[in-house]
Structure 1
């Protein structure tokens, strides 16, 4: 009894669409074009959902740390200032690196000379010569380090009068102890060039 009347009312009354509803394009029935798969995936990745479990949060943290370390390693190889570690960042540190890389230093040959001295000290006939070479290398490193630190401090004071120069000399001296091709960040200037 009630059903038949409701059906009759539905047949007699026309259903009207609201006037404020926008008309749709025949090619884009949703009102917008369908995004490409690559765009949709990029959008999905950009929207970061909160972690549901501790394990998922730890995985995300580990992944983020790994990505940051990869960027840092690439920056150390390429010299990109944005992703360098804090100890290598800034114009003062860049100048100290370039100052060291632009000239020869005794300390950078310390490891190969130390191996040579070790081999010489194993041969009984060359033990005394090994000791003399050892003393000469140590004195050469000390003398070269004193000259380098004095010259570098003078240059840094002239070029960066308002910046903090704390630790820049020790940073440069530690860089001289590394062989040139093993230095990180990589050398950006050739020997004999002016530091940037």
Structure 2
């Protein structure tokens, strides 16, 4: 068992015949280049020679992007809008929000006025009333936004059958922006509700 193997039971090992008539230059066809030659081939300039061309190209591309961005924000053309603004439901939500009068679009101005008054008047009792008024304004804003999103959801379900994910949040954040600063710019007048 652990002893020598019998010569009869051993399997013969087959070896391939050695090739003796190989040409020594057949593998590469050329001598190995020196290290200095190889390193010189790998060197590239740190500053490319066509740098001015690429600067001009970048300026043209930047101007084209800015033109498309302005065009998209002024006309709300779907081709040029950012991905977050594209879609039939988001267009409807924009029109729905832009047609409404919303308290939340004046939130920043009201809060800024409260902060200025609180800084000017150092009376503790007045500042406590200002703090309560700020909380009341925030509560009114939340209620106004909830009412708007519920109405929008109802209208989206009537028109499209489903509500895409993120459309209601998109409408709520748009409603908190001052109307003249909204992007894309409003395409409907106040009171001109979408059908």
Category of TM-score, reference length = shorter chain: 0.5 to 0.7
| SS state at 1:142 partner | helix
| SS state at 2:79 partner | helix
Correspondence list, 1:127-138, <5 A: 127-138=127-138
Deviations, residues 111-154 of structure 1 (Å, cap 9, x unaligned): 11011111221212431221121011110111112112211111
- Cα distance in structure 1, aligned partners of 2:94 and 2:114: 29
Match of residue 145 from structure 1 = 145
- Cα distance in structure 2, aligned partners of 1:65 and 1:121: 44
- Coordinate RMSD, CA, aligned: 2.1
Q: 1:98 aligns with which of 87, 95, 117?
A: 95
- Cα distance in structure 2, aligned partners of 1:172 and 1:81: 17
- Cα distance in structure 2, aligned partners of 1:179 and 1:83: 23
Gaps of 5+ in 2: 1-48
Match of residue 168 from structure 1 = 167
Displaced runs of 4 or more, over 6 A: none
- Rg larger in structure: 2
- Cα distance in structure 2, aligned partners of 1:173 and 1:94: 14
Match of residue 86 from structure 1 = 83
Contact 1:106 1:137 in 2 (8 A): no
| Segment drifting more, 147-156 vs 109-118 | 147-156
Correspondence list, 1:34-183, <5 A: 53=50, 56-57=53-54, 59-122=56-119, 123-125=121-123, 126-161=126-161, 165-183=164-182
Q: TM-score if structure 1 supplies the norm length?
A: 0.66
Gaps of 5+ in 1: 1-51
> Deviation of residue 58 (structure 1)?
5.9
Q: How many residues align?
A: 144
Q: TM-score if structure 2 supplies the norm length?
A: 0.66
- Cα distance in structure 1, aligned partners of 2:88 and 2:184: 14
